[in-house]
Amino acid sequence: MNKTDLIAKVKSLPYHCVVVGGGAVVMYGLRDETSDLDIQVRLEDFYEIPGERRGDLWKTDGDLDIQVTDYPSVDIEGISVMTLESLLEMKMRMNRPKDQEDIRKIKALMA
């Protein structure tokens, strides 16, 4: 999913969300695309959203990975996106092999 597709997908959702994870990396222009869209929603919206439960506050619906989290956000092209600082913190905490390049690019952008 590229940035244009990601923006269209988020704008089509019937609830407010914040783009997190790989989608946030795409929104900041640090990667061309992501395989899915990770979003954060409010707790009251979470229970109304269809999807397969993956945990207490996590579910999936097709290419959406929906979580209840509390990351601060900024507006990028009319879309709420987790802050760069929160994105770096999240990527460093997960520290998977696929996160290493994202971490390097985020640090470079913040320098």
* Average pLDDT over every residue of 66-89: 95
E strands, 4-111, in order: 18-20, 37-40, 52-55, 58-61, 64-67, 73-76, 79-82
Structure tokens, 43: 């707790």
* Average pLDDT over every residue of 19-36: 96
Residues β-bridged to residue 39: 19, 66
* pLDDT reported for residue 19: 98
Residues ≥6 apart with Cβ < 8 Å to 57: 43, 46, 67, 68, 69
- Per residue in 43-71, pLDDT (tens digit) is 989 988 888 888 888 888 888 999 998 89
How far is residue 1's CA from residue 30's CA, in Å, rounded to a whole number? 14
pLDDT higher than 90, residue 21: yes
More confident position, 44 or 84: 84
Whole-prediction pTM value? 0.93
- Per residue in 66-76, pLDDT (tens digit) is 999 889 999 99
* pLDDT reported for residue 54: 85
* pLDDT reported for residue 85: 97
